């Protein structure tokens, strides 16, 4: 296993009927996720996306983010995750600096995305919001191109925070991401039995590392688009979460959250992570 596509297909093959992603009331299996990825890959091809092209993902934690990333990787194209908290100028910098041909976003961010790309030739595609599901389910998967992806091909651009100036592009290859997932899951002992709650943005390096590792082992991931303390506490209990990647300030807020009655909601949790991946 040396490419992101191989990592993904391994979990689709080994855990077809297992829940892959949970978002609100939606649950999709690895088999369904595989079909959605192939369908969206076909759609991206129809939009002119080819191997080596860059595609910006301006989405919150969501099923659509997961599908978009693996679809882009399946074509040998390069993902550029962009924070949904960014202003127009920040989005424009990421899109222009990475030479993104396409921006994948949601309905409520469409106006700012279109403003951000107004000075270049990038296109904007809405996949979340007002009835976008057809993109994931009706594209002709028989027309998928045969793409030869090498381990040293670029898979993603994860930008630095820009604390000393403009954010700097950090390129990671397919093999980099596979090695990251291998090392992480072996070190912390994640398995297909884990249920992992994502409130940290997958667009961030820390969140993304946990995300790719989760899919690698066939775990179930529960995604939350924004930080909602009450919803987090509900999900920890209702979904029997076993792993909760977080940062200290999030844990501090949760610890100070008022509960109408005492609850022991972490009975299923194996650990809570609070430090970023190296």
Phi, psi values for residue 196, rounded to 5°: -115, 125
CA distance 49 to 102: 8
Cβ neighbours for 223, distance < 8 A, ≥ 6 positions apart = 21, 22, 23, 61, 62, 63, 65, 66, 198, 202
Q: CA Rg, the chain, in Å?
A: 18
CA distance 211 to 38: 19
> Which CATH homologous superfamily contains domain 4-273?
ANL, N-terminal domain (3.40.50.12780)
18-49 tens-digit pLDDT: 999 999 989 999 999 999 999 999 999 999 99
List strand residue ranges (DSSP E) for 107-203, in order: 123-128, 154-159, 169-173, 195-198
Mean pLDDT of all residues in the chain? 89
Q: CB of 38 within 8 A of CB of 73?
A: no
Which has the higher per-residue pLDDT, 6 or 146?
6
Q: What are the structure tokens assigned to 114, written together? A: 């279109």
213-266 tens-digit pLDDT: 999 999 999 999 888 888 888 898 889 999 988 888 888 887 777 665 555 455
Q: What are the structure tokens assigned to 53, written together? A: 């092209």
Cβ neighbours for 51, distance < 8 A, ≥ 6 positions apart = 75, 76, 77, 147, 149, 153
User: What is the pLDDT averaged over residues 171-182?
Assistant: 98
Cβ neighbours for 192, distance < 8 A, ≥ 6 positions apart = 14, 15, 18, 217, 218, 219
Could you tell me which residues are beta bridge partners of residue 221? 21, 196
pLDDT reported for residue 264: 47
CA distance 33 to 21: 8
Angle subtended by helix axes 205-217 and 174-188, to nearest 10: 80
User: What is the pLDDT averaged over residues 208-213?
Assistant: 96
Residue with tokens 């550029």: 80
- What percent of the chain has pLDDT above 90? 69
């Amino acid at each position: 296993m040396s490419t992101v596509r191989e990592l993904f297909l391994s979990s689709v093959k080994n855990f077809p009927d297992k829940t892959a992603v949970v978002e609100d009331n939606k649950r999709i299996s690895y088999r369904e996720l595989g079909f959605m990825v192939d369908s969206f890959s076909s759609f991206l091809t129809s939009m002119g996306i080819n191997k080596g092209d860059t595609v910006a993902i301006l989405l919150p934690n969501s099923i659509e983010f997961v599908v978009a990333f693996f679809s882009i990787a399946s074509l040998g194209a390069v993902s550029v995750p962009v924070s949904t908290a960014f202003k127009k100028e920040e989005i424009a910098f990421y899109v222009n600096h990475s030479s993104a041909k396409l921006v994948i976003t949601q309905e409520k961010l469409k106006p700012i995305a279109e403003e951000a790309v107004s000075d270049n030739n990038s296109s904007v595609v809405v996949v979340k919001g007002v009835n976008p599901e057809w993109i994931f389910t009706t594209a002709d998967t028989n027309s998928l191109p045969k793409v030869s992806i090498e381990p040293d091909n670029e898979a993603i651009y994860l930008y630095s925070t820009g604390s000393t100036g403009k954010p700097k592009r950090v390129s990671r290859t397919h093999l980099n991401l596979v090695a990251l997932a291998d090392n992480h899951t072996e070190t912390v002992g994640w398995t297909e039995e884990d249920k992992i709650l994502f409130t940290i943005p997958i667009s961030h390096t820390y969140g993304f590392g946990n995300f790719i590792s989760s899919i690698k082992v066939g775990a179930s991931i529960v995604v939350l688009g924004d930080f909602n303390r009450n919803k987090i506490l509900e999900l920890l209990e209702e979904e029997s979460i076993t792993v909760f990647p977080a940062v200290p300030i999030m844990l501090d807020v949760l610890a100070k959250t008022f509960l109408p009655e005492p609850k022991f909601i972490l009975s299923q949790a194996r650990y809570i992570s609070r430090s970023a991946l190296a």
